[in-house]
Amino acid sequence: MAKEKAVKEEGGEPRVYELGFLLLPTILEGDIAMNVARLKEGFEKEGGVFISEEFPKKVGLAYSIVKEAEGKRVPFTSAYFGSVKYELSPETVSSLYSALEKESALLRFLLIETVRESAIPMRRPVFARPDSIRTLEKHPAKAEKTVMSEEEIDRTIEELMVE
């Protein structure tokens, strides 16, 4: 009910929505593109305009997510995470949401209103001062060996014994 009320207040002006989703890890890697295409078709059926996408990558989950499959509750500890961004009319969001809930390949999803531009800032390179960089020697410098005759060795031993 709250979703429908919010949609009515916003009017019909298209907005940018992002769908973040987790695909089941049991899907073969060759079938991932087909599943993403099916998700995109849902947006396009509702009159959405494609903006960008992040192709799904396999990730480990912070906690296991249980999903019912074939009458059994199965825990999953990994999934394929991806996202798509579309411009869509607010009136069609609730029907798109219902269609996504019925999608069997989705482990979990999040549909949010966002901005057109990417909000992820670019990492700036870090520059260090040359005088602040210290290098460690791999092998300490070895002292030069001096060659001593037997007489010098005997004299040194006697001096050590006297002291």
SS3 for the chain is CHHHHHHHHHCCCCEEEEEEEEECCCCCHHHHHHHHHHHHHHHHHCCCEEEEEEEEEEEEEEEEEEEEECCEEEEEEEEEEEEEEEEECHHHHHHHHHHHHCCCCEEEEEEEEECCCCCCCCCCCCCCCHHHCCCCCCCCCCCCCCCCCHHHHHHHHHHHHHC
Q: What is the chain's Cα-based Rg? A: 33
pLDDT value of position 141: 63
pTM of the model: 0.63
Q: What is the sign of the dihedral through the CA atoms of 20, 24, 28 and 31? A: negative
Domain ranges of the chain: 2-114
pLDDT value of position 17: 92
Mean pLDDT by 10 residues, the chain (163 residues): 45 86 92 92 89 92 90 92 92 91 92 78 63 65 75 88 75
Residue type, 72: K
pLDDT value of position 158: 87
pLDDT value of position 2: 43
Q: Which CATH superfamily is domain 2-114 in?
A: Ribosomal protein S6/Translation elongation factor EF1B (3.30.70.60)
Contact 54, 82 (CB under 8 A): yes
What is the distance between the alpha carbons of residues 42 and 94, in angstroms, rounded to a whole number?
12
